[in-house]
Chain A
Amino acid sequence: DIQMTQSPSSLSASVGDRVIITCRASQSISNYLSWYQQIPGKAPKLLVYGASTLEGGVPTRFSGSGSVTEFTLTINNLQPEDFATYYCQQSDSFPRTFGQGTRVEIK
């Protein structure tokens, strides 16, 4: 199984900050990597797929990059509504696997 490791597990940031979350795959997944945002009590929401393609309707302050085993999610100009938990997920092979999540908290 492919293990997905996110870092950091949590971070504190202020409105207007730039936040970078890293996701590492235990083996090559090409660019079969998605990022999801989850607000407490809500269902996950797709932000980025194919490692770098922004889902429709997602603000352009979100961006994804990377390939093979190293990926990043960048949030520029952090907004109040961005405080949430973020998950990466590989869709290269079964079983699908998620990272453990990165909680973005208000500083």
Chain B
Amino acid sequence: EVQLLESGGDLVQPGGSLRLSCVASGFVFSTYGMHWVRQAPGKGLEWLSYISGSSSSTYYSDSVKGRFSISRDNADNSLHLQMHSLRVEDTAVYYCARVGRGGYRQLDYWGLGTLVTVSS
């Protein structure tokens, strides 16, 4: 059974840093691309970042480029999002999601999410 479990969410002050993790199980992690998506309270889904299975390709939304960094460790089936210079508007539930097979690049499995609150 495919499972994704995020962790690392916390209350942090503006300007602070936080590192989120997503541990995967039930599939060959290294062969799948992974995304981070977030959802601010009462708002819609916002795509943040993507990393390929080999880490050779990464992409970011303009809203986090230069502040957030995506990485993965295929040896321990983990995905990470390092976040710096956090802003109040970064407050959200952060989800990791897997890219499905078939060539359409859909997000076929999602984690339960981890809450990041940026507030003084």
Contacts and interface: CB of A to CB of B under 8 A. Distances in A.
B105 A91 contact: yes
Interface in B75-117: 95, 97, 100, 102-113
Most buried by B among A1, A49, A99: A49
Interface string A36-80: 101000011110011001010000000000000000000000000
Contacts of B103: 50
A44 B109 CA distance: 9
A44 B108 CA distance: 10
Contacts of B95: 43-44
A34 B106 contact: yes
Given A44-B45, A87-B44, A87-B45, A95 B61 contact: yes
Given A49-B100, A49-B102, A95-B62, A44 B110 contact: yes
A45 B106 CA distance: 11
B107 A34 contact: yes
Contacts of B50: 94, 96
Most buried by B among A31, A36, A87, A100: A36
A97 B90 CA distance: 17
B35 interface: yes
16 contacts: A31-B104, A38-B45, A43-B111, A43-B113, A46-B100, A46-B107, A49-B102, A49-B106, A49-B108, A50-B102, A89-B107, A91-B106, A94-B59, A95-B61, A96-B47, A98-B44
